[in-house]
Amino acid sequence: MLSRRSSTLAVILATATLLFVSDIAAQAQSADTREVFVVRQDESDCTNTTVPNVDSPNVRGTLLLARDPDGNTTVKVAITASPDTTYHFFLKCVRQLGDITTGDEGVGLAAFTFPTNTVGSTYAFDSYPEGAPLGNKFQSVTVKF
């Protein structure tokens, strides 16, 4: 039997997959795509080299990225975090991309677009609520194109 936390994460990942896969699949023929974990971890460097790329209890979501032919990169975010909380979402060490608000189950979904040329071939994301409390910060696994 799955715990509530595990089942919530399973629901968000399934929902994110259903919502985003058709979009990403349509883009896949004309753009590079990547999928990376979102991990509960308080800090790392600008490219998140200390964030483990393994499935573990600290994995709290996923990012689906696509380099679009128009010169932009789209990142679709699915996380399970604290309920009813607004998380600032950052292209790490570059700029804030926007906010993700979770519902009463802690599930948050969002999509952001940024110019591909604002990053190199290796970069990362982080997300946290106002005040950045310890234990409620999230780092992406390093993105490599």
Read off the pLDDT of residues 1-45 as tens digits, 9 standing for 90 and up.
Answer: 445 555 555 555 555 545 554 554 454 444 599 999 999 999 999
Residue found by looking up tokens 């600032």 in the block: 88
* Range 59-86 average pLDDT: 96
How much is the pLDDT for 2?
A: 47
pTM (two decimals): 0.80
**Tens-place pLDDT, residues 75-103:** 999 999 999 999 999 999 999 999 999 99
Distance from C-alpha of 104 to C-alpha of 84, rounded to nearest angstrom: 5
The CATH T-level fold of domain 4-144 is Immunoglobulin-like (2.60.40)
How much is the pLDDT for 30?
A: 46
How much is the pLDDT for 142?
A: 98
Comparing CA positions, the residue from 85, 83, 48, 50 lying closest to residue 63 is 48
**Domain residue ranges of the chain, discontinuous segments joined by +:** 4-144
Give the distance between the most distant pair of CA atoms in the chain. 46
Q: Alpha-carbon torsion 85, 139, 120, 109, what sign? A: negative
Distance from C-alpha of 39 to C-alpha of 44, rounded to nearest angstrom: 11
